[in-house]
A and B are shown apart, each in its own frame.
Chain A
Amino acid sequence: MGCQAGDKNSQKEFLEKYSGFVFAICVRYCGDMNYAWDLLQEIFVKIFVSIPSFNPKLGNIEPWIGTIARNHCLNYMKSKRITFKELNIQEIPLSIRNGAIEEMTSQELINLIGMLPDGYREIFNMIETDGMSTQEVAKFLGMAESSVRTKLSRSKSYLKKILLKIKSKEAWMNSI
């Protein structure tokens, strides 16, 4: 791989190929485009520095990139010292029809998750999209496991509320 030898053209090609994938992770974790852009640059610098140590025989490059990006975002999040806002969410009845998420594009979904408040967004991402256990997340954030579970539940409710608003707005737009 030319990238491993430090060839500039190969690095550019590599960046063009995987920038969208990495940026999606950054936006998903940050919610803020400006922060996500800064993280994106840092992640690619990190990737190009450590790519000579990557062994293609041990696995695909994509999960390796995803792990670097995720860890970088999580470290950033940890250094930021997240403060959890108290969300005033009443239990929303499950009125969202099945298939609402399937109808959305991945970009819309990322934007949707990005609307979650700080802390809730990271917990949702770590558990629901990246498959971490509540125990792992609790250890990483230095919180009680029960607290993580509560916050996950609240983040799901908040997401439903947002989704419901979006869908009802779409329905209203379609009706006129």
Chain B
Amino acid sequence: MDELNLNSLRRKLEKATYPVDNELLWSQVSERLPQRKKNKFLIYFIFGILMGGLAFLLLKNLSENPEFDNHTMAQDDNEDCPQSVSLERMEMEKSTENVLFNELIFTKNPISEERNTSPIPLSKIENDKPEFYDSGEAKILQSIEHRNSGIHFSRPLIPVYLLPNNPKESPNQFTHSIESQSSILNVNRNLYVDNENDIELLNSRKTTEKELFAVDLSAKYSILHRSGFYVGVGMEYLRIAEQKSYYSVLSDSVGIDDKYIHR
């Protein structure tokens, strides 16, 4: 094969085409193509609106429900709550004839600024040391605090983090992430009696068993710029209900956190 022929071959092959079934090729290629960024953004946008709408509805629902306010004892937000019990509640408990409840105690707002994990105070529920008893008359030694029901906004945080990865390695300007967390708790609580020989109280205990039910849902959307600037928006819904034979107390809270983290 001489040089001339090879030049001719090169020239012919330079812009050579080969017949292709374009429809088949397109159907196979389009399946493998990644979704457009615009669509992704739209999904995030719709997700954000839905979350906002949910928060608004909860706020409206909770603020319109007067039942929750009857059980509200502490009206604070993040500060340690004063230990107090309403007169109405005291009367209700006294009327139960020697039957005393060891209430679920929240000494701090469950959506506190320090929470990074699930805010459900499970350890508190399980480890609370029950107080008292004077078998003769009802006497509450440990006062009870109930969470203020309604929408609860925690304070925005502006912490500074040094993240280990190198953001310059990211091929795109922005990266997105969605984190969600959900948990459901069901805890049985029994009336505490200090004297196991007190048959009357033990009998009452059986009838005053109560159930705590907690639902925690949280979601967080964050955008990380390759420069290291990080913006995250999260929302959390915590609902804790007590179900027992005498009365029920609902503790609700919805938190919306905004975190602007620069690294």
Complex contacts, B37 vs chain A, CB 8 Å: 6
Q: Are A21 and B15 in contact (CB under 8 A)?
A: yes
List the A side residues contacting B12 at CB < 8 Å. Answer: 101, 104, 106, 109
Our pick among B13, B14, B22, B34 for the contact of A19 (Cβ within 8 Å) is: B22
- Interface segment among A139-147, A156-164, A165-173: the answer is A156-164
State A107–B6 Cα separation when bound (angstroms): 16
Are the C-beta atoms of B16 and A101 separated by less than 8 Å? no
Residues of B within 8 A of A15 (CB): 22, 25-26, 29
Which residues on B sit within 8 Å (CB–CB) of A79? none
Q: Are A20 and B17 in contact (CB under 8 A)?
A: yes
Q: Of B5, B9, B18, B36, which is within 8 A of A129 by CB?
A: B9
Number of A-B contacts (CB under 8 A): 94
CB under 8 Å from chain B, chain A span 1-40: 6, 8, 11-12, 15-16, 19-21, 23-24, 27-28, 40
The answer to whether B8 and A101 touch across the interface, beta carbons within 8 angstroms, is yes
Q: Is the CB of B2 within 8 A of A107?
A: no
Known: A23-B17, A27-B18, A110-B18. A44 touches B5 (CB 8 A): no
**Is A61 located at the chain interface by the 8 A CB criterion?**
no
Interface size class of A (residues with CB under 8 A): 35 or more
Query: Within 8 Å CB of A98, what residues of B?
Result: 2, 4-5
Query: Which of A12, A27, A128, A163 meets B6, CB within 8 Å?
Result: A128
A143 to B28, CA, bound (A): 37
A45 CB–B CB distance under 8 Å: yes
| Chain A residue nearest in CB terms to B36 | A6
Q: Given that A15-B26, A24-B13 are known contacts, is A101 also in contact with B34, CB under 8 Å in the complex?
A: no
Q: A24 contacts which of B18, B29, B33 (Cβ < 8 Å)?
A: B18
The reply to whether A128 and B10 contact each other, CB–CB distance below 8 Å, is yes
Residue of A nearest to B171 (CB): A53
CB-based nearest B residue for A15: B26
Min distance, Cβ A10 to any Cβ of chain B, angstroms = 12
Output the least CB separation between A73 and chain B (Å).
Answer: 13
A49 at the interface (CB under 8 A from B): yes
| B26: chain A residues within 8 A (beta carbon) | 12, 15-16
B129 at the interface (CB under 8 A from A): no
Structural contact, B38 and A6, CB atoms closer than 8 A? yes
A-B contact pairs, 11 of them (CB 8 A): A21-B15, A24-B16, A28-B13, A28-B16, A48-B33, A98-B4, A98-B5, A100-B5, A102-B5, A107-B16, A110-B13
